[in-house]
Chain A
Amino acid sequence: MSTFHEGASSSQPYKDPTPLPASIPKVKEVGATSAPLKSAAFFFGAYCKEYNEDFMLCKGENRDPAHCLKEGRRVTRCATDLITKMRENCLQQFEEHWQCLELNNQEYAPCRKPERVLNKCMFEKLACFSLAYAGLVKTIPGTPAGQTPVHEVEKPFFGRMQK
């Protein structure tokens, strides 16, 4: 017989090998670690905008995990699609940027050089998607009008300590 444990204070990891019910379509998880995800975050926000908004609106309706499985699968498929496209077109730039993030505490400021190369590559190679998906250009919502976006500032105050 199983005993009750507080989930947070368990001595063993909470593992449950039971697979999803067969009625739920399978989707492969993205499987990327935090640095690649952070590197792709703004492109993900632009490329998968509709799916993301759909999913979050659905979550707003009901917090039940069972309620938004379909929308969630769409989000994940879109993310996988984007990462595949990035790896097909800008593999080297992508790798350089997320490796830089990995080495710099996952902060964007010290990694502007590889980031600009990646942004340029994404803009040039994936321009055909930019019409359909409101541009694969990094834009930070809420930046005050008339101000240079922080990722395009020529001489920033904050960056790498070592040159």
Chain B
Amino acid sequence: MPPPGGFEAVQYKRNLPLRGPSGLAILGGVTALCAYGFYRVGKGNIEKRELQREKTWSRIHLVPLLLAEGDRDAFRRTQAALEREREIMKDVKDWEAGKSVYNNPRYRGAESIVVL
């Protein structure tokens, strides 16, 4: 005979705790996170390019100033060297100080310098 109040319910369902979000949810979440990350990387690359542009232009703007200063110095040294050459070679007839070895008026920088 059944006990008073009936039998206990038979447990036939598996008693497993919730295992967190489903695989699809995790996959979707990771994909979204990666997409956002790559979006940021792309934005950052654009900004990096602009920073490079800024740096380059700051240097381009300064080129004339630095070149002018360097030119004055180069001119001063060349003139001094020419003067020395003239002084050394004053006894040699028909010597032209600073005459190019090329038959071409195009400017060439000095290949070598004499360090005093």
Contact = CB atoms under 8 A, between A and B. Distances in A.
B57 interface: yes
A133 interface: no
A108 B116 contact: no
B57 A42 contact: yes
B113 interface: yes
A156 B47 contact: yes
The DSSP consensus for interface residues of chain B is: helix
Interface string B35-47: 0000010011001
B115 A143 contact: no
B33 interface: no
The DSSP consensus for interface residues of chain A is: loop
A146 to B, nearest CB: 13
Nearest to A63: B107
A115 to B, nearest CB: 11
A67 B68 CA distance: 11
B103 interface: no
A109 interface: yes
A20 B72 contact: yes
A116 to B, nearest CB: 14
Interface of B: 40, 43-44, 47-48, 50-51, 53-55, 57-65, 67-72, 74-81, 83, 107, 109, 112-116
